Structure 1
């Protein structure tokens, strides 16, 4: 009997002697990775997905395909991932804060984010920018509030119940502003109509909105961060302008179907954290106003639970519902 044959027989005997129900985690990855972004191209989640896709592919030694599955304020793509095989080959990259809002807003949600998804890591945070069309005669939040009481202002929101929508509601309730919400199917459409003057006011993630401020197509009135940002000059925070303690923004993170093996979740966490912390990626995102923020899977799950509780009260108070 050769040495290799003796080895094989010994391995087989060990497998037969293993406890009932034991199964090794399959080789990972065994096929291309699908990185699902549940929003249209060009938004904050899409920008981050395409920033790290190649690095993730190199680390995992397989191709990574970014797929935009937009619809229903991110619920279409999120549902797709929630119902995918829990093998680590289908990932959801989205605004985790917005995902935490959906159970409170949607009366008929085809999945439960807390039950059907689990966190892998957060990737980045960027604040919301409060912007207006350049023709709007207001240079700060107080002037915008006063103007809103004199004439109709249309407030563009990426979708009913989205994080920017809830941020707008919070500012409206705290400042006494009055505006009409116009829902869209994504941030890019909301930006385009505000640039075009069809809507006058917008709150949206900094990554996707800042280029239009820099080009002069939108006028910046405030930022939803705790502190001012040198990147955008001496623009005051919304908290400084009559809404004490106000902070909101987009929290991009990655989730996988519940039941994904722990070893795969930890491998994905390590490679995603490494990719988003790449010096070139970090510098590029910082130049657009996004801060790299990473978490362990357990930390992200706790963050998700806190965000879900945080926004549920405002959703109830404002009676925001969507089908």
Structure 2
């Protein structure tokens, strides 16, 4: 069961914004004299060594130094972040439990899972940390060099299959949007992960794949496959040769997923502001920057902006899920 996966540009906050964040953090510090009073627990939706685990540890180590207080990463893998999100929702409402939030658990699970152990209202947004986009790739041997040629090829074949990392994942939903927009027929072939789909593309076993940029990019640069479109709003700084769907005449295919941090609802705002300030500081460290890859758009948000993003994503993706009659796998 897979429900997640931003144009990884190395776009970091402007100096003025960072100064404002530092000022807010200092102000929050003055207003939270009793916080923290015990170890802070960051609930990660992945196992040890996973992407979310590594980011949580980078942020947690900076937080521990900045706050002068122990910080523990609590790995709760499974169900594409639902297990971890449920743990956060049940956490104490005092700022000592925060969660690593991902699109699959915060946006897609409430749309796809009837008896979810939490609701949107159970969380207080803190900040996004980055967004990511999906890339569409074909074998280098396929006579397709852009999205328009891909559409023409699909129509000439009467349909085409594509590899993705699951049902109701970001890649699957993007291709459902594509089918509706271009009036073409595409068949989702599910792989256990993006790397497996990429390997089958290289072997010629599947005619197209949709994944994040990272597993595809090196093969694209070597000429072994061809990335013909990416779902970010603008071209990525780390992949300037790859055109967006939007600039190729498909503005409805702008879509990115997010990662960020949330807390249980009810945490006092000064504590939220203090946590956010420390997370933004961590985002400026070299260790954090070193973890970012070319397909990530590094971007923070206010709690209000993050909440609005979640609701907008749910409204948009919910419409696609209903219109295309998408059901959970299994």
| Total equivalences in the alignment | 296
Match for residue 236 of structure 2?
229
The 1-side partners of 2:223 and 2:304 are apart by 42
2:61 aligned partner: 54
The answer as to 2:300 corresponding to 1:294 is: yes
Structure 1 distance, partners of 2:190, 2:87, is: 23
Task: Give the one of 64, 67, 75 matched to 2:75.
Answer: 67
| 1:37 pairs with 2:23 | no
Note the alpha carbon deviations across 1:88-115, whole angstroms, 9 max, x for none: 3443223347622332223332322x12
- With over 3 angstroms needed to count, the CA separation of the structure-2 counterparts of 1:230 and 1:274, relative to structure 1, is closer
Question: Once superposed, what is the RMSD of the aligned Cα atoms?
Answer: 3.3
For residues 47-70 of structure 1, the C-alpha deviation after alignment (integer angstroms, 9 at most, x for no partner) is: 644553432333234244262613
Structure 2 unmatched runs, 5+: 1-31
State how far apart, in whole Å, the 2-side matches of 1:288 and 1:166 are: 22
TM-score under structure 1 length normalisation: 0.76
Alpha-carbon contact 2:107-2:313 (below 8 Å) kept: yes
Structure with greater Cα Rg: 1
Q: Distance in 2 between matches of 1:223 and 1:40?
A: 30
Q: 1:239 aligns with which of 237, 240, 246?
A: 246
Query: Is 1:274 matched up with 2:276?
Result: no
1:243–1:225 distance in 2 versus 1, CA, 3 Å = same
Corresponding residue number in structure 2 for 1:317 = 323
Most deviating of 27-36 and 288-297: 27-36
* Superposed CA offset, 1:189-227 (max 9, x none): 555555555544333333565455456665311111222
Structure with the bigger RCO (C-alpha within 8 Å, sep 6+) is 2
In structure 2, the CA distance between the partners of 1:171 and 1:100, relative to structure 1 (3 Å rule), is same
- Sort the Cα spacing of 1:178 and 1:269 in 2 relative to 1 into closer, same or farther, 3 A: same
Cα distance in 1 for partners of 2:221, 2:37 equals 41
Stretch moving more, 190-199 or 75-84: 190-199
Q: Which residue of 2 aligns with 1:104?
A: 111
SS in 2 for 1:180: strand
Deviations, residues 114-162 of structure 1 (Å, cap 9, x unaligned): 1222211011123222223445443222232233341764323333222
